Chains A and B, each alone.
Chain A
Amino acid sequence: MRKFLLIALKDLKLSFRDTAALLMMLAAPFALTLGMGAVTGRFSGSSSTGLSDIPVILINQDGGELGNALVEMFSSADLADLIEPSTGTDPVDARAKVDADEAATVILIPAGFTNSIIPVQGSLPGDPVQIEIYSNPTRPNSVGVVKTILEQFLSQVEVGRIGGQVAVTELLTSGLITPDQAAAVGQSVGQSQANDTTSSIAIRQVTASGEEVKFDVLAYIAPGMALMFLMFTVTYGGRSLLVEQAAGTLPRLLVSPTTGSQILAGKIFGIFLTGVAQLLILIGGTTLMFQLNWGNPLPVILMVLASVLGATGWGVLLTALLKTPGQAGAIGSAVMLIFGILGGSFTNMQLLPAPIQFISRITPNYWGLQGFTTLAAGGKFNGIVTPLLWLLGMFLVLFIIGAALFSQRGLGKK
């Protein structure tokens, strides 16, 4: 058997004999997935979506068409499983309920909201007003869902407003209406668009074949946790090279008829094997324990391999830069957490500021999560091509840099 493979298999065996490492590689992501799943109501059994009956308090101070349309939309049958709306009049009281964790958000529709978009006949549009959302920080996923629905509504309203303007301009230019009639026509078009919003917003995801897919929040949490702790595994694997240096086994390998490249290849392949084993165990475990559907097995395996490759690239680079096992342990943990946060393991990426979303692309967590959630939502191979290419490219770039650094450092030779 080739020596690099023997070294890799030895490392795989050692990783799975290290109780502390096993806790971090398997127990911790399982426990966090379980915990976050419980927080989001995934295990309550009340809904197949995981997130269900999100308590939302609506305070409609507007009373116009758009304000009413927004309240109606949150109360619609389409969102009945997902949202548990209630109406209120006192913002202070509503915020207190959010603070007491009795509600996920308060949506305050201020007076003049409709008028700011659809002017009353014979008058100019009012000053712009803003819908206020008061959010419960302990329910980030629920808040994310509510914000997404609200954004879709506002987007639809904006489309209606622009559509109305364009329509009125066209009618005026073509002489079909007079300037006196323009305001009435604009209001009519705007109201018509507003009334359409309810039907345009529905959370329904289908596969290419038209089969409906119910998105499971665990399909976001589980890969998020798995990918975060995958970073632990790769830094732990990289650290093992430094541990071997300190423990004398690396110098011993270097005086055996084994080349430095065989040793390095073996260590890197060992990291890769351990990462693959970790992800496969987590996928198998969450499938069996939580009935989580990760998607089509073949693309899922491709995503596993690519995610581990991308993460391994980081492991190689970090190991090449660091000098002692202690450094690798501390910095590895920090990188695991930072990549977890940046890559979306803890929160919906859409809630993060745009610059953070941009930076997150350097993490294997981000691309892994993109791929896994796509597959869990019924996506096929063509839906994960971009994450696969990014992860592969990430590995190649980081591996080349790491290998160059190792080449300068010369493993344990002096």
Chain B
Amino acid sequence: MASILEVKDLVKKYGNFTAVKGITFDIKEGEIFSLLGPNGAGKTTTISCLSTLYTPTSGDATVCGHSVTHEPMAVRNAIGVVPQDLALYEDLTARENLAFWGQMYGLSGKVLNTHIDEVLEQIGLTDKAKQRVKTYSGGMKRRVNIGVGLLHKPRLLFMDEPTVGIDPQSRRAILDSVKELNRNGMTVLYTTHYMEEAQELSHRVGIIDHGELIALGTQAELTKQVGETDTLILHVGEAEDPQPLADALKNIPGVTRADVTDHEVTIITPSAEELLAPAVTHANSMGIKIHSIDIREPNLEAVFLHLTGRALRD
């Protein structure tokens, strides 16, 4: 399959701070590609460079064969952008917003109206299209925000953390709509710090941390990096210090690594079931009360932990 986006050695610096450190990846036409990483990892800066908002310090990227640094207008015509924060005119109605943004993408007349009707249907706001956006709930605003990005039917859609700060129902609707768009042939670059979203949506995932792409591949390829391992999570009380327990557990046979996050000890192990009893015994002997225990199959969270030693939400 041909690449619709190719990123090569992309670097973005702000003074002495390097936000993106030479990342390289590509996205095939028809894919949903997720950039997964914690807050501040460089996801938004990357999307801003790819959407021509920021000029890369070095390196380049091509969208549909057009360079983001040399042919920004051609790139802008090919992409749709759904920014992380709402970017709408709250004193305009949803229809007026869509009409304005559609005109900015060169749509007009009957085509514009048809596209607006389709998008309103898609985001489920046909009956509320004449209400000013400021009267909408947060979830409805998010849907309009996405609708603006879809209006001109771009070949490649950039979605920058579109589910941040919304209710579970709206989040579900957005994830379903992303899948639906992809089924209809749209290629999507999706950034998130929610492992579950990346797992649910993506054909391939790039894990980004401190501006570096530390892993790239399908979910199967990525989880293979951590081997046939489970993740065992011991939740301790808020008054407890879990660090001594983690240090102690590192010395038990079968523990690949043990890390502390908030009031949890996260243990990577080939068999969580076999480790369960000795882990609880150690906790009891140290006087640390365990409130609950989770056992997880290999997932992207484990991959991130394996690669960085930190949980994704850190």
If the complex has contacts A14-B91, A413-B53, are A257 and B73 also in contact, measured as CB distance less than 8 A?
Answer: yes
Instruction: Flag the segment in B99-107, B184-192, B282-290 that touches A.
Output: B99-107
Interface size class of B (residues with CB under 8 A): 20 to 34
Q: Is A26 an interface residue (CB 8 A)?
A: no
Is there an interface contact between B76 and A6, defined as CB atoms closer than 8 Å? no
Q: How far is the CA of A252 from the CA of B132 in the complex (A)?
A: 19
User: Closest approach, in angstroms, between the C-beta of A71 and any C-beta of chain B?
Assistant: 62
Are A248 and B83 in contact (CB-based, < 8 A)? yes
Give bound CA distance, A212 to B246, whole Å: 99
* Contact indicator B104/A256 (Cβ below 8 Å): yes
A254: B residues at CB distance < 8 A: 52-53
B88 touches A249 (CB 8 A): yes
Interface centre among B54, B79, B96, by most A CB within 10 Å? Answer: B54
How far, in whole Å, are A3 and B107 apart by their CA atoms in the complex? 11
> Are the CB atoms of B103 and A17 closer together than 8 Å?
no
**Chain A CB within 8 A of B240 CB:** no
B207 beta carbon closer than 8 Å to chain A: no
Give A13 to B97 CA distance when docked, in angstroms.
12
CA distance A13 to B90 in the complex (A): 12
Is there a chain A Cβ closer than 8 Å to B225's Cβ?
A: no
Q: Does B77 contact A (CB under 8 A)?
A: yes
Q: How far, in angstroms, from A414 to B87 measured CA to CA in the complex?
A: 18
Smallest CB–CB gap between A407 and chain B, Å? 15
- Asked if A13 and B92 sit within 8 Å, CB to CB, the answer is yes
Q: How far is the CB of B12 from chain A (nearest CB, A)?
A: 9
Q: Which listed residue (A18, A248, A414) contacts B54, Cβ 8 A?
A: A414
The CA of A14 and the CA of B73, in the complex, are separated in Å by 27
Is A125 positioned at the interface, with any CB of B under 8 Å from its CB? no
Does B100 contact A10, Cβ atoms closer than 8 Å?
yes
A257 to B74, CA, bound (A): 8
A contact residues, total (Cβ < 8 Å)? 23
> Chain B's nearest CB lies how many Å from the CB of A102?
51
| Chain A residue, CB-CB nearest to B45 | A414
A3, A14, A18: the one contacting B103 at CB < 8 Å is: A3
- Would you list which residues of chain A between 39 and 64 have a CB under 8 Å from chain B? none
Q: Would A252 and B81 be within 8 Å (CB), given that A1-B103, A412-B53 are in contact?
A: yes
Distance (Å) between the CB of B51 and the closest chain A CB? 4
User: Per-residue CB proximity of A398-414 to B under 8 Å, as 1/0?
Assistant: 00000000000000111
Docked Cα-Cα span, A180 to B233, in Å, equals 124
Residue B17 CB within 8 A of the other chain = no
CB <8 Å contact, A257 and B104: yes
A172 proximal to B (CB < 8 A): no
Chain B residue contacts of A256, Cβ below 8 A = 76, 101, 104-105
In the complex, the chain B residue whose C-beta lies closest to that of A262 is: B104
Most buried by B among A14, A248, A257: A257
Within the assembled complex, what's the spacing in Å between the Cα atoms of A259 and B72? 10
Bound CA–CA A254/B72 (angstroms): 10
Q: Nearest chain B CB to A98's CB is how many angstroms away?
A: 51
On chain A, the residues within 8 Å of B88 by CB distance are 249
Assess the A17–B87 pair: CB atoms within 8 A: no
Cβ A248 vs Cβ B86 within 8 A: yes
A326 interface residue per 8 A CB criterion = no
- Check if A14 sits within 8 Å of B92, measured CB to CB: yes
- Give the chain A neighbours of B54 by CB distance below 8 A: 413-414
Does B14 contact A251, Cβ atoms closer than 8 Å? no
Is B77 touching A257 in the complex (CB atoms < 8 A)?
Answer: yes
Nearest-neighbour CB distance to chain A for B94, whole angstroms, equals 15
The minimal Cβ–Cβ distance linking A39 to chain B, given in whole angstroms, is 36
- Bound CA–CA A256/B103 (angstroms): 10
For B104, what are the chain A residues with a Cβ–Cβ distance below 8 Å? 3, 6, 253, 256-258
**B residues in contact with A247, CB < 8 Å:** 86-87
CA distance A251 to B149 in the complex (A): 13
Enumerate chain A residues within 8 angstroms of B76, measured Cβ to Cβ. 255-257
Q: How far is the CA of A258 from the CA of B77 in the complex (A)?
A: 10
Cβ distance B272 to chain A, nearest Cβ, rounded Å? 44
Q: Is B85 an interface residue (CB 8 A)?
A: yes
Q: Determine whether the beta carbon of A252 is less than 8 Å from that of B87.
A: yes
- 1/0 per residue A272-316: CB within 8 Å of B? 000000000000000000000000000000000000000000000
Indicate if the CB atoms of A257 and B105 lie closer than 8 Å.
Answer: yes
Taken together as a complex, chains A and B put the C-alpha atoms of A301 and B81 apart, in Å, by 43
Q: In the complex, what distance in Å separates the CA atom of A254 from the CA atom of B148?
A: 14
Interface residues of B in 235-253 (CB under 8 A from A): none
Nearest CB in chain A to that of B84: its residue: A248
Determine the distance from Cα of A412 to Cα of B100 in the docked complex, in whole angstroms.
19
Residue-wise interface mask of B (264-297) relative to A, using a CB-CB cutoff of 8 A (1 in contact, 0 not): 0000000000000000000000000000000000
- The answer to whether B103 and A248 have CB atoms under 8 Å apart is no
CB distance from A13 to the nearest CB of B (A): 7
A249 cross-chain contacts in B, Cβ below 8 A: 87-89
**Cβ contact within 8 Å between B92 and A248:** no
- Docked complex Cα distance between A3 and B104 (Å): 7
Alpha-carbon separation in the docked complex, A3 to B76 (Å):
15
Q: Given A14-B89, A257-B76, list of 15 further CB < 8 A pairs?
A: A1-B103, A6-B103, A13-B96, A14-B92, A252-B83, A254-B53, A255-B53, A255-B81, A256-B76, A257-B77, A257-B105, A257-B106, A413-B54, A414-B14, A414-B55
Sample of 17 A–B contacts (CB below 8 Å): A6-B100, A6-B103, A6-B104, A17-B92, A17-B132, A248-B85, A249-B89, A251-B53, A251-B83, A252-B101, A252-B148, A254-B52, A256-B101, A413-B54, A414-B14, A414-B53, A414-B54
Closest 4 CB pairs of A and B: A248-B87, A252-B87, A256-B104, A17-B91
